[in-house]
Amino acid sequence: MMIDTHSHIAANIEGLEFVVLSGTSIEDSRNNIKLSKNDKRLKAAVGIHPQEKTSNFKHQILKLEELLIENKNIVAVGECGLDFSNLPKSLFDKRDFKDMEILFRAQICLALKYKKPLIIHSRKAMDETLEILKSYKNLTGVIHCYTGGIKRIKNVPESFYFGIDGKVTYEDGLVEVVKNIPKDRLVLETDSPELTPIPHRFEKNCPEYVKFIYQKVAEIWGRSPEGAEKIIDENARRLFLQ
Ligand SMILES: [Zn+2]
């Protein structure tokens, strides 16, 4: 059964083994925990998205740690990371970048302390993100919606996985990237409700549509759907259900 390793909605999960609900704020993370208690197929991640950083982000970290202490069934920390997409170069505020990095590093420390994989969000910041990851040992996780191209694949720590989304059904560049990612380090994700794959592009995305991404990867690998699914599912279980 297929697995959606990154979603922001908990509906339309028919036929899936499990769905990882990515956390973007304290409130969102709490909601993920609540949902995961009502349905075993929903797995909660808790994290602060870089764009959800508040001015009092140290308080956000304290709250995040409370959630990790109180809820043993949390499967990952994240999504967390760096996002430079909303920072025009001319207005680039150094302090804001520094705070984003502190928030990211604090979540890395929580992942290590509570032995959870990390879900990493990195937008227009892949080199900076990989540079930070290099300095930690025993860290595992996924680069969600990997956008580093072929050339950065080798820079991603070997203990990390590559999350590939619905864009692979319509972006040739991403097809080439998938060909170059080691098969035992690939996981698939919808990022619902965004990034809807073909044939539902421009509609709202949902976890069930991960099947179209599975199909596409089987095609790229030149394998049977069953053969490809087995490898991809094992990767997702190894990462999130260890
Ligand atoms: Zn996300």
Distance 119 CA to ligand 1 centre (A): 9
Distance 193 CA to ligand 1 centre (A): 9
Burial label for 70, CB within 10 Å (0-12, 13-18, 19+), is exposed
Distance 109 CA to ligand 1 centre (A): 20
pLDDT tens digit sequence for 23-72: 999 999 999 999 999 999 999 999 999 989 888 889 999 999 999 999 99
Residue type, 215: Q
SS3 49: coil
List the end-to-end C-alpha distance of the chain, in Å, as a whole number.
18
Distance 153 CA to ligand 1 centre (A): 20
By DSSP bridging, strand 42-46 and strand 76-83 are parallel
Looking at residue 86, what is its pLDDT? 75
Distance 160 CA to ligand 1 centre (A): 17
For residue 228, give the nearest of 153, 178, 156, 171 by alpha carbon: 178
Looking at residue 25, what is its pLDDT? 97
The Cα-based distances of 212 to 15, 179, 229 in angstroms read: 13, 17, 12
Distance 122 CA to ligand 1 centre (A): 10
Indicate the helix (H) or strand (E) that contains 217. Answer: helix 210-221
Looking at residue 31, what is its pLDDT? 98
Looking at residue 95, what is its pLDDT? 66
Looking at residue 55, what is its pLDDT? 85
Fold of 2-84+95-240: TIM Barrel (3.20.20)
Distance 121 CA to ligand 1 centre (A): 7
Distance 23 CA to ligand 1 centre (A): 8
- What parts of the chain have a pLDDT lower than 50? none
Looking at residue 96, what is its pLDDT? 72
Distance 79 CA to ligand 1 centre (A): 7
Looking at residue 35, what is its pLDDT? 98
Looking at residue 91, what is its pLDDT? 56
Looking at residue 87, what is its pLDDT? 66
Q: ∠ CA(224), CA(227), CA(228), 5° rounding?
A: 85
The pTM assigned to this predicted structure is 0.95
DSSP string, the chain: -EEEEEES--S--TTEEEEEE---SHHHHHHHHHHHHH-TTEEEEE---GGG--TTHHHHHHHHHHHHHH-TT--EEEEEEEE-TT--GGG--HHHHHHHHHHHHHHHHHHHHTT--EEEEEES-HHHHHHHHHT-SS--EEEET--STGGGGGGS-TTEEEEE-GGGGT-HHHHHHHHHS-GGGEEE---BTSSPPTTSTTS---GGGHHHHHHHHHHHHT--HHHHHHHHHHHHHHHH--
d(CA 224, CA 53) in angstroms, rounded, equals 43
